[in-house]
Structure 1
């Protein structure tokens, strides 16, 4: 029964959230079982450019460390805010959601070429949290039952918590900066730039990921009962009234 419930819950997850969290968990399990080593996964520009180890561009976002508090903490936040974004402001817009991931990952990879950062998954999680928090500014948050604040402060609270745990602030700061760049380009700039969008999702992604809406079938005139105007034709002029002379 528990297995059936867990499987049902898993299958109800939106596709991008399910794919990303599954990849993160499987990568961590593979490391725990010594199937792969973290040294094969971390971001290394020299190995990527000189030895063409292109997979590191992807795996740097999938490994959150060995199974423990830090891993569980990051997985909970990744799952929660990724799902809320996909089911909220990106509902029925899977292609746009994937485009957001691509924008974030590409920006972080470019940044990582200049800053010595090995794994970028936590930065991607903070980016998701930041975008969600800016799109839900009036939601009240509670952090471990101690702090009460509104959603836009959540990324900064997580940054402070990460520093308290002894982690470098650069990873969280990267997620905040990239998240703000996306939020500005997608949500703020169109309001002041005559609705001009800088980030445009390629059509092939939309055709691949977004379902085609079913066209409403309107029966031909001879099958339309009651002479009701179905909305696809202009109103017919009223019939002429003949007057007896």
Structure 2
């Protein structure tokens, strides 16, 4: 894009809204407009004083302006946008439902004292990275221009980098847990022959349509054919090819043994109506 304004307008809606919300939250903190602990997740204050906003606001704080904050914001701009333009293209409601499910999963995981964290925004970003790595496992990526690897290993590489830089890794781990849970329910389980029951609620379609994005068809995540999906081969071997081969073999054999019958049946099917009209 030639200008930042054109780049901003070209961004898909969900990733743009979330990225801008995270940027504005950190900018307001930099200007000392609020105390970050007033928006942090604290279940004691949520249940005792009914400070419900903490269940939402904690997802928009990625930390103060710093190098890790810039990396998280770039992850949203690159991998979140790639998901929204790729597997979730024309499925904005399903992409919103992915965010909602991820947030709910993280809130449930944060109930465990070992996984408790006051801010879950980094975990939500890591969930996006994990889902992207499963949707584009063969994509080639460069990390800081030094290491080249496949997209499948991106979450683990970022986890190692956070460990080296001294950043907390627990938010990364619970983000990967939420991402794997979503990917299992929407992709791996249906591909393995299970019933797809993880449907986007109707009110999310209504909400997306209200904001002018249209109501998209509710379907499992469709991956980029050029990138491939990990474990796709295993799921498609469950008897489908054998049945197809046997059916095609029987049809070929029957056509070889009775070529005249096939020809006569085709002729009668195609010309029967007209021949009777002519003779009649």
TM-score, normalised on structure 1? 0.83
Unaligned runs of 5+ in 1: 214-234
d(CA) in 2 for partners of 1:141 and 1:23?
Answer: 27
Q: Which residue of 1 aligns with 2:45?
A: 47
What is the CA-CA distance between 1:7 and the residue it aligns to? Answer: 2.0
Residues 19-38 of structure 1: CA deviation (Å, up to 9, x unaligned): 10111111111111111111
| Secondary structure at the counterpart of residue 162 of structure 1 | helix
Alignment-derived partner of residue 164 in structure 1: 164
**Pairwise CA distance, 1:182:** 0.8
The alignment partner of 1:72 has SS state of: helix
Q: CA RMSD in A?
A: 1.9
Aligned-partner Cα distance in 2 for 1:78–1:150 = 19
1:229-244 alignment to 2 at 5 Å?
239=274, 241-243=277-279
Partner of 1:11: 9
Unaligned 5+ runs, structure 2 = 217-269
**Offset at 1:48?**
1.0
Larger Rg, first or second structure (1 or 2): 2
TM-score by length of 2: 0.73
Counterpart check, 1:200 vs 2:199: yes
Q: Distance in 2 between matches of 1:19 and 1:212?
A: 18
Aligned to 2:252: none
- CA distance in structure 1 between the partners assigned to 2:11 and 2:54 by the alignment: 27
2:278 alignment partner, SS class: coil
| 1: CA distance, partners of 2:196 / 2:119 | 31
After the TM superposition, which residues 167-182 of structure 1 pair with which residues of structure 2 at under 5 Å, given as runs? 167-182=167-182
Q: Distance in 2 between matches of 1:212 and 1:103?
A: 19
Q: Aligned ranges for residues 215-234 of structure 1 at < 5 Å?
A: none
Please identify runs of 4+ aligned residues in structure 1 that moved more than 4 A.
237-240
SS at match of 1:61: helix
Task: Check conservation: 2:110, 2:117, Cα contact below 8 A.
Answer: yes
Paired residue secondary structure (1:24): helix
Superimposed CA distance per residue, residues 100-142 of structure 1 (whole angstroms, 9 cap, x where no aligned partner): 1111101111111223311111111111011011111111121
CA separation in 1, counterparts of 2:189 and 2:68? 36
Q: Distance in 1 between matches of 2:120 and 2:86?
A: 25
CA-to-aligned-CA distance 1:24-69 (integer Å, 9 cap, x gap): 1111111111111111121111111111111111111111111121
C-alpha contact (below 8 Å) 2:40/2:119 kept by paired residues: yes
Q: Is the 8 A contact 2:72 2:125 kept in 1?
A: yes
More helix by share: 2
Q: Which piece of structure 1 moves more, 201-210 or 172-181?
A: 201-210
**Counterpart-to-counterpart distance in 1, 2:43 and 2:119:** 12
**Pairwise CA distance, 1:208:** 3.2
